[in-house]
A and B are shown apart, each in its own frame.
Chain A
């Protein structure tokens, strides 16, 4: 049994220690907001926060995060920044198919938590690891700026 700290709750799993956190969340704990896209940390659909840092959960063995604070899309809206990002995503109508957007929102929230006024270059650097095949990038950029605006006023 491994005990995890996810979204402020202590949760236990009997998953094998080599199981990536993504699949523990999805298959063992029923939290399906984090998505499987590539399995190699190439697309960012699985992004969660590990101790506040945007991290690809598809290549992260669950045993490695037993002592970390994990936040997923299911609870990111409980933080001020996460809520602002989600509200901005809805206001800008970012999602199309929506499959990558949990990961996009987790990356954007981690960016704004440390950089309240990101430049376009900052946004590129923080978000280039998150693929969107619907190419909603124009609106992702706008939503990040909108969220930044609401957080600094």
Chain B
């Protein structure tokens, strides 16, 4: 049983967050002796806490402290697998707890001196760290046993959580906890070589399946404190709107309503009704009469914006990548091709609408949240309250999905909760609960983009030039994560690093700045660049009568990982075999978050239109720590990407978001989900991401299949907006 369901959120002595400023430090990855339990107080009486990631109780329970949120991606299971491997623990003695917010102990190496989860980095950035943490704990247990038994340490083995010596002596971890706690923490322990792995690379069940199959897992939505009040908010109908005035008299007459307060944060303004429970607060919110100041509000429609974006694709953008000379190559090309691709705004629409619990104390603040961005949230709340970030304590809970939404550089919903609690002027804990409509209309979307591509081929059909122009908003501009210079890396990732060998290559970017809040959305830039590049490549293949698989193969000579994935997905899908007349296969390949994913979408023609029967997926993610989790993430990424491709779109009419719930923002349902089979390329390389890389590949794989039916390429998403529906 996982610990988190019991809400065993640990108390930490927090230290200065980001002390040392914005310098990126990728040092200090294992807290050594001096750091131990007194630094991050993750200890409990009578336990052995060799470092900030492992705690062993007298009953032999091994608790792994996860610096990363569990939002579905399997981080708790994967991280625990690494520790269990080094300890040779039994899987049943492992539990996982969310670590406290402490950027010094728990920073994400991919982010620098910053704690947070994202970019499919949880396993990748923790792998060495947790190997070391587990190996150190193991060495201390072995030393304790060697001392007690009077035998050399190197004669002691561990299997399934039991230390053994050939003399017949044996002990469970718990029996050695007291002795091990007294030992100095060694700093020179060598973790296992991958050739000695017993557990990594083999599937183990998730640590959270039981809690999540019995209703016992505690999400923010479920968290309750004595005296806690619930806040339901009214947000401005347009982005950038402010509260001019409001009349709360009717709201205050509703039973259970305690207060009505206005708030303003860097993300938005609004009015909150705070009540004893959700339903009373919601009735109060619905009874508010608010006059909005829309003098600076965003009033454009997405249709108008699209026209402007299309216009921009005809003008040169800022250069993101330039190799050779595309203009010259086009002039000498036997044929050229052009295509424009359009992508709408997308909502994350996690199952759990955004929410947060905040309690403000005397110059301190405590937060309970499915917390994805600890360091940013500590700083934002500290700034609002005029306290030190270290006095913002964050308790980790399960997140009911996120897909990027809970990692917000503006800390929007977290700081909104704190602003409401502050406006209350009491120490009553406040839970902010957004309705589905609040969640969907609050912005922070995957940006709308338009891409224009042009390619030239020689007489043999070989691609000699490729020009790719991208128009859309930057996710990172104005945040801590902004790129240096004009080119936002997240807008061009997947295009700028096109793996295909083309001698003349140019990628350009127009960054637009409408006041629509945007954010990373599962697989970020690849959500659109993979589609544009992989569909355009198939267009060229179709027009030049080349096999899409062979065309890619010929361009990937310098990318062995891509080639291996491509070959594996071709082999497993039977790409080269003869297909039945009603079977159509579409292929796509893409690298994101240092993993390479290839997918073949298998369509079957039916009287009701094409049906997506199955998807064959191949992935190179380095060492697959837990292949079961890798497969789950490929299935999930395919479903999430497919949902957007088929029917996802947020549109604006005169600045108002037109969607609000699952009726007008439909999402994938079970009858629309294909079968999925996942194949993992064997690898000795360190683990890379799996949470996101499955997502961007399905849309182009599907589109490349659909284009073969009538020769018409898919260039606008979602498919539903084009009247395309699958059976």
Contact = CB atoms under 8 A, between A and B. Distances in A.
A30 interface: yes
Given A40-B663, A74-B215, A97 B398 contact: yes
B639 A137 contact: yes
Interface stretch (B69-77, B181-189, B509-517): B69-77
A133 B221 contact: no
Contacts of B640: 133-135
Interface in B199-216: 205-206, 208-216
B219 interface: yes
B297 to A, nearest CB: 26
Given A128-B671, A139-B635, A134 B279 contact: no
Contacts of A81: none
Interface residues of A, number: 55
B670 A105 contact: no
Interface in B393-414: 398-403
Contact of B277 (A23, A43, A102, A138): A23
B351 A99 contact: yes
B351 A132 contact: yes
Contacts of B206: 93, 95
A77 interface: yes
Interface residues of B, number: 61
A13 B349 CA distance: 32
B628 A93 contact: yes
Contacts of B217: 98
Given A37-B436, A90-B213, A95 B352 contact: no
B668 interface: yes
Interface string B45-82: 00000000000000000000000000111100000000
B375 interface: no
Interface string A41-75: 01101000000000000000000000000001110
Contact of A86 (B213, B352, B638): B213
B278 interface: yes
A93 B352 contact: no
Given A40-B436, A141-B670, A131 B277 contact: no
Contacts of A96: 72-74, 632, 636
A133 B215 contact: no
B222 interface: yes
A28 interface: yes
Contact of B215 (A30, A102, A134): A102
Contacts of B667: 131, 133
In this complex, the member of A73, A99, A101 whose beta carbon has the largest number of chain B beta carbons within 10 angstroms is A99
Contacts of A123: 670
B719 interface: no
B435 A39 contact: yes
A138 B673 contact: yes
Contacts of A40: 436, 661-663
Main secondary structure of the interface of A (DSSP, over half): loop
Contacts of B435: 39
Contact of B224 (A30, A33, A37, A95): A30
Contact of A35 (B400, B636, B662): B400
B675 interface: yes
Nearest to A16: B255
A37 B435 CA distance: 8
Contact of B661 (A42, A72, A95, A102): A42
A136 B636 contact: yes
A38 B209 contact: no
B278 A33 contact: no
Nearest to B403: A133
B108 interface: no
A141 to B, nearest CB: 7
B118 interface: no
B156 interface: no
A95 B436 contact: no
Given A28-B277, A93-B205, A96-B73, A134 B670 contact: no
A124 B670 contact: yes
A149 to B, nearest CB: 17
A37 B353 contact: yes
A37 to B, nearest CB: 5
A144 B675 CA distance: 15
Given A33-B215, A73-B215, A127-B670, A133 B628 contact: no
Contacts of A93: 205-206, 209, 628, 632
Contact of A137 (B205, B350, B400, B670): B670
A94 B213 contact: yes
B523 to A, nearest CB: 14
A96 B348 CA distance: 16
B351 A133 contact: yes
B433 to A, nearest CB: 8
B675 A138 contact: yes
A100 interface: yes
A79 interface: no
Contacts of A100: 351, 400
B587 to A, nearest CB: 21
Nearest to A87: B213
Contacts of A36: 221, 278, 353, 433
In this complex, the member of A36, A40, A45 whose beta carbon has the largest number of chain B beta carbons within 10 angstroms is A36
Contacts of B73: 96
Interface in A97-118: 97-102, 105
Interface of B: 71-74, 205-206, 208-219, 221-222, 224, 230, 255, 277-280, 349-353, 398-403, 433, 435-436, 628, 632, 635-636, 638-640, 642-643, 661-663, 667-671, 673, 675-676
The 5 A-B pairs at the shortest CB distance, nearest first, are namely: A135-B639, A33-B215, A99-B400, A98-B212, A97-B72
Interface of A: 15-16, 19-20, 23, 26-28, 30, 32-40, 42-43, 45, 72-74, 77, 86, 89-90, 93-102, 105, 123-124, 127-128, 130-141
20 contacts: A23-B279, A26-B278, A35-B352, A36-B221, A37-B436, A39-B436, A77-B214, A86-B214, A89-B213, A95-B209, A96-B632, A97-B399, A98-B212, A99-B352, A131-B667, A132-B639, A133-B640, A135-B642, A136-B632, A139-B635
